[in-house]
């Protein structure tokens, strides 16, 4: 089959949301409707021992939150869907931001009770940076939430995007009965079931069908009025506007009860973008090109704790990836081949022989990969837009067991390679400083160091509030600065000099006093430096 045919049958998307909006539950229901799993787990239920299929780290099971991006591949309506379930918690936003560089569209989940929240707005800003197409799923309609019209108004106002409802709820709260599919002009009602898919109890294609009264118990007239109002107020769905990131189709439902999920999944596979091209430092790579290229957007150590394996997640951008074929690692200027490339269903992996643009492949790694690395068939280029951000919270990592120093050193290096935090070294590496964008990350790192590496450590708070990378045309200027500001200077894992500031005022003053030094707030300068 040609590469173009393979591209057309693929959709690569992320599910994003504020915490507790129901993102992981929606992910599982996608897998249920796609036939990838038979029973859904309940993330927070103590009665159901199965946990969410996409939450595989032990700490995620304990806390009922996602702290790492999970990758799942399944098939639905003759379409291969690469689904990335991201952390919702703001402390892990950087992992989510990087994941958004690897997808072609997103589904944003909104809680109908809480509406648009702060993290939702931040995620929308990241989507807008790349004009990523956004589909909105308003969840938890089985609860007494906000009025649907008010929610649509809030979406337009806070997310600054035009919306177009493609389904409409039949009531809400205790009397919520399902959704009418405006896009397909039909009504499919399912029995509420939290763990599996029941057969639909009714499928009606005409709202004027008298049989509808047997299922809506008098609510059919209000539904007809609502649909007349909605179709009169909102323009018809325009796919081009959606693909350009200017229009967000909106779906309503209750993921926990399966209402509205099939309508969303069916439509996303139909209207969603096939894999698109990506910018590099030299040119734009189109997905339809014959030669292979791809980039690493995530690294995960100990995906399977029994085997201590390290996986690099590679998004394929063009051409065909083949097992055991040599590919060029641009940063290391070396060729590698991969004997056991994997595709995923959360923690379950299957070895694959080939993969195409849009696919996400797991590569077993012994330390050769970093986030942002590019693989090609020989061309020297680097995919853009996969930076690390300047951390905001800093703590010193203190070893509690000197006999486990090697395990601690290996553990913190591997965990920070994943991108959840950044490691800085002082005093020839004897003092380790970890920087993050949120406090919860320190809990996760401490837990994983002990559970996965046997290293008992604690974190000691530091008074720094900002870090930035330093470069200068004259190396002596940096040497003099480092000597003068010794306690505020460290080096990252790539031996780049970093300056720590105690406050925004101190940072601004230092920048003003050192005009010949460049202060960088994301790691993208490294790409420019190496060109």
By percentage, how much of the chain surpasses pLDDT 90? 54
**pLDDT surpassing 60 at residue 50:** no
CA distances (Å), origin 314, targets 52, 376, 529: 24, 12, 24
Domain ranges for the chain, please list them.
3-69+85-268, 278-376, 393-530
Round the average pLDDT of the chain to a whole number and report it.
Answer: 85
Mean pLDDT of 449-455: 89
Spatial separation of the C-alpha atoms in residues 500 and 466, rounded to whole Å:
6
Supply the pLDDT for residue 87: 64
By percentage, how much of the chain surpasses pLDDT 70? 85
Spatial separation of the C-alpha atoms in residues 309 and 364, rounded to whole Å:
7
Describe the crossing of helices 118-129 and 93-100 by its angle, rounded to 10 degrees: 30
First to last CA, the chain: 37
Supply the pLDDT for residue 269: 95
393-530 belongs to CATH 3.30.70.3280: yes
Give me the numbers of helices (H) and strands (E) for the chain, helices first please: 15, 31
**pLDDT surpassing 50 at residue 382:** yes
Which pLDDT band holds residue 345 (cuts at 50, 70, 90)? low
Topology alike, domains 3-69+85-268 and 278-376: yes
CA distances (Å), origin 315, targets 123, 275, 287, 299, 310: 20, 10, 11, 12, 16
Contact between 394 and 322 (Cβ < 8 Å) = no
Q: What is the pLDDT of residues 400-430, one digit of tens each?
A: 999 999 999 988 988 887 777 889 999 887 8
Q: Which two tokens mark 305?
A: 């704790």
Mean pLDDT of 375-385: 93
CA distances (Å), origin 326, targets 49, 236, 338, 370, 382: 43, 49, 8, 19, 18
Degrees (nearest 5) of the Cα angle 234, 239, 244?
Answer: 105
Supply the pLDDT for residue 531: 45
Q: What is the pLDDT of residues 219-237, one digit of tens each?
A: 888 899 999 999 999 999 9
Positive or negative, the Cα torsion across 382, 386, 390, 391? negative
Range name among 29-33, 161-165, 225-229, 329-333 with the lowest pLDDT average: 29-33
Supply the pLDDT for residue 427: 83
Q: Which CATH superfamily is domain 3-69+85-268 in?
A: P-loop containing nucleotide triphosphate hydrolases (3.40.50.300)
Q: What is the pLDDT of residues 91-139, one digit of tens each?
A: 455 667 778 889 999 999 999 999 999 888 888 888 888 899 999 999 9
Spatial separation of the C-alpha atoms in residues 252 and 22, rounded to whole Å:
13
278-376 belongs to CATH 3.40.50.1980: no
Selected residue with higher pLDDT from 376 and 526:
376
Supply the pLDDT for residue 51: 43
Range name among 284-298, 328-342, 415-429 with the lowest pLDDT average: 415-429
Q: Which two tokens mark 152?
A: 């649509």
């Amino acid at each position: 089959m040609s590469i173009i045919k393979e591209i057309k049958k693929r959709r690569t998307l992320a599910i994003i949301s504020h915490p507790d909006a129901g993102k992981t539950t929606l992910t599982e229901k996608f897998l249920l409707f796609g036939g990838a799993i038979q029973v859904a787990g309940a993330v927070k239920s103590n009665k159901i021992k199965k946990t969410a299929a996409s939450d595989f780290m032990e700490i995620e099971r304990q806390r009922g939150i996602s702290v790492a991006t999970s990758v799942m591949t399944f098939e639905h309506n003759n379409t291969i869907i690469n689904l990335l379930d991201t952390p919702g918690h703001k402390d892990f936003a950087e992992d989510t931001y990087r994941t958004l560089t690897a997808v072609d569209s997103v589904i944003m989940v909104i809680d109908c009770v809480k509406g648009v929240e702060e993290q939702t707005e931040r995620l929308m800003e990241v989507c807008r940076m790349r004009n990523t197409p956004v589909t909105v799923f308003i969840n938890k309609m089985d609860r007494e939430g906000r009025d649907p019209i008010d929610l649509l108004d809030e979406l337009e106002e806070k997310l600054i995007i035009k919306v177009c409802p493609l389904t409409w709820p039949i009531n809400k709260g205790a009397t919520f009965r399902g959704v009418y599919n405006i896009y397909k002009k039909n009504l499919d009602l399912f029995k509420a079931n939290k763990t599996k898919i029941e057969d639909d109890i009714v499928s009606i294609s005409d709202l004027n069908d008298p049989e509808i009264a047997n299922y809506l118990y008098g609510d059919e007239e209000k539904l007809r009025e609502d649909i007349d109002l909605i179709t009169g107020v909102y323009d018809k769905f325009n796919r081009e506007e959606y693909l350009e990131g200017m229009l967000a189709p909106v779906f309503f439902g209750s993921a926990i009860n399966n209402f509205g999920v099939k309508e969303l999944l069916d439509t996303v596979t139909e209207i969603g973008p096939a894999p698109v091209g990506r910018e590099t430092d030299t040119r734009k790579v189109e997905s339809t090109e014959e030669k292979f290229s791809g980039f690493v957007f995530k690294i995960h150590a100990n995906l399977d704790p029994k085997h201590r394996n390290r996986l690099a997640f590679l998004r394929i951008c063009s051409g065909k990836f083949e097992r055991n074929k040599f590919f060029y690692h641009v940063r290391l200027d070396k060729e590698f081949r991969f004997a056991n490339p994997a595709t995923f269903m959360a923690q379950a992996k299957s070895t694959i022989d080939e993969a195409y643009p849009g696919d996400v492949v797991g590569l077993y790694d012994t330390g050769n990969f970093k986030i942002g690395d590019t693989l090609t068939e020989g061309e020297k280029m680097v995919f853009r837009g996969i930076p690390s951000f300047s951390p905001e919270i800093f703590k010193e990592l203190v070893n509690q067991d000197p006999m486990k120093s090697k395990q601690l050193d290996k553990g913190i290096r591997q965990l920070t390679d994943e991108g959840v935090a950044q490691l800085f070294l002082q005093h020839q590496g004897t003092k380790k400083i970890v920087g993050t964008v949120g406090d919860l990350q320190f809990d996760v790192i401490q837990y994983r160091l002990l559970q996965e590496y046997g290293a008992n450590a604690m974190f000691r708070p530091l008074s720094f509030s900002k870090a930035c990378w330093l470069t200068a045309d004259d190396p002596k200027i940096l040497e003099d600065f480092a000597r003068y500001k010794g306690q505020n200077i460290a080096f990252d894992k790539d031996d780049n000099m970093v300056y720590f500031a105690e406050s925004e005022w101190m940072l601004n003053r230092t920048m003003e006093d050192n005009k010949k030094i460049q202060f960088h707030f994301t790691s993208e300068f490294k790409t420019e430096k190496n060109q």
